[in-house]
Structure 1
Amino acid sequence: MRALQWHGPWDLRLVELDTPRAGPGQVRIAVAYCGICGSDLHEYADGPHAIPVDAPHPLSGRTAPLTLGHEFCGTVVEVGAGVTGLSLGDRVAVEPEYHCKQCAYCRSGSYNLCVSMGFAGLMGDGGMADFAVVPAYMLHRLPDEVSLEQAAVIEPAAVALHALRRAELRLGDTCAVFGLGPIGLLLISLAKLQGATTIVAVDVSRERLAAASHLGATHALDAGALDAPALCDALRDAAGGLGVDVSFEAAGLPATFEAAMQGLRKGGRVVMVGLMPHANFDAFRAVNDELTFTASVGYRHAYGDLLRIVGSGALDLTSIVTRIVSLDDAVAEGFDALLADRTQIKILVSPAKPPSAINA
């Protein structure tokens, strides 16, 4: 089979490998689509970050080179010994978090905090290949109403839904989303479904601000055209003068974290979704205004709810998909395109289709 493997920064190789077999407790799927995530781009441009190089991951047993891709879906083609509830031909979405099921976090249900947590496609082989073998616990059967194209975007939508839950966003709340990548745009769609009355989108890309408005943002602020004080003033004005109830920091930048905090009303909540090594904040204001800081990582118990929402027609996840490319063209038309072109949002790689069959 073909697989797109990470060998080092700027070194992705489409290689031929033996088709893996499903072992006990595992399932092999024929991959239909695999999304390219911002984490994949970071590994490509300046990794390794999460990819194990010197020591194998404790649950996957893998080190680099390994097959990228954790946003994937497909069809069951082999079921390993001991697996129940899945059959050949089942269409499935992959919830790619590894978890041990034994540590205190797993036993409490917070499996996204597992002491050995990792992701297939980053700490183990993932979905940018013709076939992928994963633990059966990662798979969710798709309702008939959910297409495989929709299923390929369930993973980033789960990140957004978990962050929304961490925010405790309530009907009638006001919120702001800083950073309009796929997660930020999905946060806007889900906040609208949750009943937020004011949703302020903040980014430097006019194209992404336009996409946010299409998905439900009530206000769009161009952070490249406003200095920090003006941006905060505009954010407060959009929320009735006091500031928003909740800010989501989805860009992973210290400056946007600061702006996300400054745009809050008293008693407001900021949720950190983007990854950054360090951030400074006004501790005096945080205490004096009784602000709440919350972080959100991965997801737990989100896939079932998302599949029901998407199946009902209330949420169209393909609205953020801007291109579908073949596995052969994944580097040039996928990874490089996302790094060079801000109009691209979510690019799906389709191993199942030859280049001539792709509508790019």
Structure 2
Amino acid sequence: MRAAVWYGARDVRVEDVKQGAPGRGEVAVSVAYCGICGSDLHEYADGPHAIPIGEPHPESGRAAPLTLGHEFSGTVAEVGPGVAGFRPGDRVAVEPHYRCGRCARCLAGEYNLCRHFGFAGLMGDGGLAERAVLPSYMLHRLPDGVSLRQAAVFEPAAVALHGVRRSGLRDGETVAVVGLGPIGLLVVQLAVRYGAGEVIACDPSPSRRALAYQLGASAAVDAGELPPGTADLAFEAVGAERTLRDCLDATRRGGRVVLLGLGGMLAVDGFALVNNEQSIIGSVGYRDCHPELIRLAAEEGMDFTSIVTSVVPLDDVVRGGFETLMNTMEEIKVLVRP
């Protein structure tokens, strides 16, 4: 089969790879769509960051070179021994979190904090391929009326939904969202759905600000133009020290800031943080979000595909996917169709 394989920074090759039948507890999925995530861009640009080198990941058993892609959907092609509840032909969304099921956090239901934290497509083979073999616990069957294109966006939507849940959003609160990439835009959409009174979106791109309006934002401003001290809650979806400061400055005393962006060392004014009694909340991945997203799509008609700007074939994943996303602000979410 054809797959986009990561060998190193700026070295992703679309090539023929061998794939065996699914083992015990596994399912083979014919991939319909796979999104390119900001995490994938980090790995392409200057990785490895999360991709295991040399020492295999304890749950996947894989190390580089491996197949990228963790935002995907498809159709069950083959079912391994011991798998119940799935059969060939089932349309599925993939929740690509690895979990051991044995550590304290897994036993508490917090599987996104598993001691063997990881994702198919970063710590194991993923969905930028014609076919993927996955643990069956990663799959969610889709009801009629929910498309495979829509299902490919559930993974970033789950990141946004988990962040909204972590925030403790209350009805009527004013929310600032800094950074209107895929996650920030989905936070705008979900914050409106879950009761925000006002959502102020912030990004230097006029086209992204326009899309935020379409998704329900009350206001959309350029970078650095957030009104100070007005938000009850802010979401940082960039991963930079400057935008974290923007979030803290925009948030009232006693307010909260949720970190969703992937950043390195971030310096904050400790005196201001304490004296303003502000909270900084980390949010990683998601847990128990896919069933709610499927329900929102199937029963409420919510459409998360507004962020999709292009669909490219697998053979064009480097030029039309990675390179394009790194060199233009006009693209937001690129889906690859193997």
Q: TM-score range by the shorter chain?
A: over 0.9
Q: What is the 5 A alignment of 1:209-228? A: 209-223=209-223, 226=224
Deviation of 1:279 (Å): 1.2
The runs of at least 4 consecutive aligned structure 1 residues that moved more than 3 Å come to none
3-state SS of 1:137 partner = helix
Asked if the contact 1:83–1:136 (Cα under 8 Å) also holds between the matched residues in 2, the reply is yes
Deviation of 1:282 (Å): 2.0
- The equivalent residue for 1:247 is 234
How far apart are the structure 1 equivalents of 2:265 and 2:206? 28
- The equivalent residue for 2:105 is 105
Q: Find out whether 1:261 has 2:253 as its counterpart.
A: no
Deviation of 1:63 (Å): 0.7
Q: Find out whether 1:340 has 2:304 as its counterpart.
A: no
Deviation of 1:189 (Å): 0.3
How far apart are the structure 2 equivalents of 1:313 and 1:16? 41
Aligned residues: 338
How far apart are the structure 2 equivalents of 1:122 and 1:342? 24
Asked if the contact 1:52–1:63 (Cα under 8 Å) also holds between the matched residues in 2, the reply is yes
How far apart are the structure 1 equivalents of 2:133 and 2:169? 37
Provide Cα deviations, 1:72-108, integer angstroms capped at 9, x if missing partner: 1100010000000111100000000000000000000
Asked if the contact 1:162–1:302 (Cα under 8 Å) also holds between the matched residues in 2, the reply is yes
Q: What is the 5 A alignment of 1:178-193? A: 178-193=178-193
Alignment-mate amino acid for residue 227 of structure 2:
L
Q: Percent same amino acid among aligned pairs?
A: 56
How far apart are the structure 1 equivalents of 2:274 and 2:105? 30
How far apart are the structure 1 equivalents of 2:54 and 2:176? 40
Asked if the contact 1:200–1:235 (Cα under 8 Å) also holds between the matched residues in 2, the reply is no
Which of the numbers 260, 273, 282 marks the counterpart of 1:273?
260
Give the TM-score normalised by the residue count of structure 1.
0.92
How far apart are the structure 1 equivalents of 2:191 and 2:94? 24
3-state SS of 2:212 partner = helix
Which of the numbers 280, 288, 308 marks the counterpart of 1:293?
280
Q: Find out whether 1:319 has 2:306 as its counterpart.
A: yes
- The equivalent residue for 2:137 is 137
- The equivalent residue for 1:25 is 25
How far apart are the structure 2 equivalents of 1:34 and 1:210? 25
Q: Mark the runs of 5 or more structure 2 residues left unpaired by the alignment.
A: none
Provide Cα deviations, 1:327-353, integer angstroms capped at 9, x if missing partner: 1111111111111111100000001xx
Deviation of 1:318 (Å): 1.0
Deviation of 1:18 (Å): 2.0
3-state SS of 1:56 partner = coil
How far apart are the structure 2 equivalents of 1:314 and 1:244? 29
How far apart are the structure 2 equivalents of 1:108 and 1:218? 38
How far apart are the structure 1 equivalents of 2:245 and 2:265? 12
How far apart are the structure 1 equivalents of 2:79 and 2:105? 28
3-state SS of 2:72 partner = strand
